[in-house]
Amino acid sequence: MDSIQNEEAFIQTESVTFSYGETVPDDVLKGITMQVKKGEFVALLGHNGSGKSTMAKMYNAMLLPSGGTVYAGGMDTKDEALLYEIRRRVGLVLQNPDNQLVASVVEEDVAFGPENLGVPTEEIRRRVDNALKAVEMYEFREFAPHKLSGGQKQRIAIAGIIAMEPDCIVLDEPTAMLDPRGRTEVLRTIHRLNREKGITIVLITHYMDEAIGADRILVMDDGKILTEGSPEQVFSQVELLKQHQLDVPQSTELIYRLRGAGADLPDCVLSVEECVQALERIRPDFSGKQAESTRKGGGDHGTD
């Protein structure tokens, strides 16, 4: 226990390395030291093969590090006696919503976790109802999972984790298989859980837009942490991200290029609204209705 330096840190990794066996020569993780504070919303960015999914499985002891240590809630994930306690406190939501639902009725699926933990019957009922309300899926409690949309299924998967009353939820590319509407639903849900219930969130994704709303962003590349910091800090390093074939949000890139061309614009812009505001400031004649219509019209050009 004494090796935990930071009281506030909920998840802490110390020079974690990992390789998938001796036949695979390269380590997937090459010494990762990081921490996630209690109640924080952290986005873990990286493209395919950067080791971010492997990292996700480290937090709840689905995988154990080959070297280094992972602490979750002060517990060493190598300690087998604590395995179920760790998995209860750190829930993991996977990418494919279809493959993580167990039962053929929504509410029974949500009950699966608490049932495994041996929670008393009435308590399970209460937890399931609360979890379903927390993801706004209470009306669907008697539905069969295959009758739901991808976003709804993913929210049920999240409810299944919430019913175990975890301190932290790790989501491994939860929106990768969803349509834009499903993505918005899921993101809204996890942001609300973070805000209202104070659940620590680790969102693993390769969509830059999803990372904007996080408190802190960690960028992974080739099994290492490339850079970390607030969204502004991370995305202002456009050059570095580009070098590693990572995208930046579109409005950030636009402003970055305009600055490169000599325009007098702020350092880092993340959202579309900020971008419009910044542009309005340097071109007052281009403001108001005109800007509004260009913004809205942007998407329609192809269809007309």
Partner 1 sequence: MIRDVALGQYIPGKSGIHRMDPRVKISLTFLFIIFLFVGSNYASMGVMTVLVAGILLATGIPLRQYFKSLKAVLFVVIFTSVLNLFYGSGQVLVQWGVMQITEGGVNRAVFIALRIVCLMLLSAALTFTTSPTELTDAIERLLKPLKIFHVKVHEIAMMMTIALRFVPTLLEETDKIMSAQKARGADLESGGLMQRVKALIPILIPLFVSAFRRAYDLAMAMECRCYHGGEGRTRMKVLKAKKSDAVAVIGALLLCAGVILLNIFLPGTVR
Residue 64 engages partner 1 in binding (rule: CB under 8 A): no
Distances (CA, A) of 250 to 68, 208, 221, 289, 290: 37, 9, 21, 22, 20
Least distance in angstroms from the C-beta of 164 to partner 1? 7
CB of 164 closer than 8 Å to CB of 133: no
What token pair was written down for 33? 């030291």
In the complex, what is the shortest distance from the CB of residue 50 to partner 1, in angstroms, rounded to a whole number? Answer: 20
Which span sits near partner 1 by CB under 8 A: 14-22, 95-103, 197-205, 213-221? 95-103
Size of the site for partner 1 (CB under 8 A): 41
What string of DSSP letters covers 17-52?
A: EE-S-TTS-S-SEEEEEEEEETT-EEEEE--TTSSH
Residue 165 contacts by C-beta under 8 Å, 6 or more apart in sequence?
88, 127
Query: Which residues, 162 to 181, sit near partner 1 by CB under 8 A?
Result: 164
- Segment near partner 1 (CB under 8 A); pick from 103-111, 181-189, 206-214, 285-293: 103-111
Alpha-carbon distance 141 to 173, whole Å?
25
Judged by CB under 8 A, the residue of 8, 20, 78, 99 near partner 1 is 99
**The only residue of 128, 131, 134, 148 in contact with partner 1, by rule CB under 8 A:** 128
Instruction: Single out the segment in contact with partner 1 by CB under 8 A; choices: 19-27, 46-54, 142-150, 213-221.
Output: 142-150
Tokens in use for 121? Answer: 């019957």
Binding residue (CB under 8 A) for partner 1 from 8, 79, 80, 98: 98
Among 75, 157, 158, 246, binds partner 1 (CB under 8 A): 157
How far apart, in Å, are the Cα atoms of 7 and each of 12, 26, 71, 112, 190? 10, 34, 12, 32, 24
88 binds partner 1 (CB under 8 A): yes
Q: Which residues are at the interface with partner 1 (CB under 8 A)?
A: 60, 62, 84, 87-88, 91-92, 94, 96, 98-105, 107-108, 111-121, 124-125, 128, 142, 144-146, 157, 160-161, 164
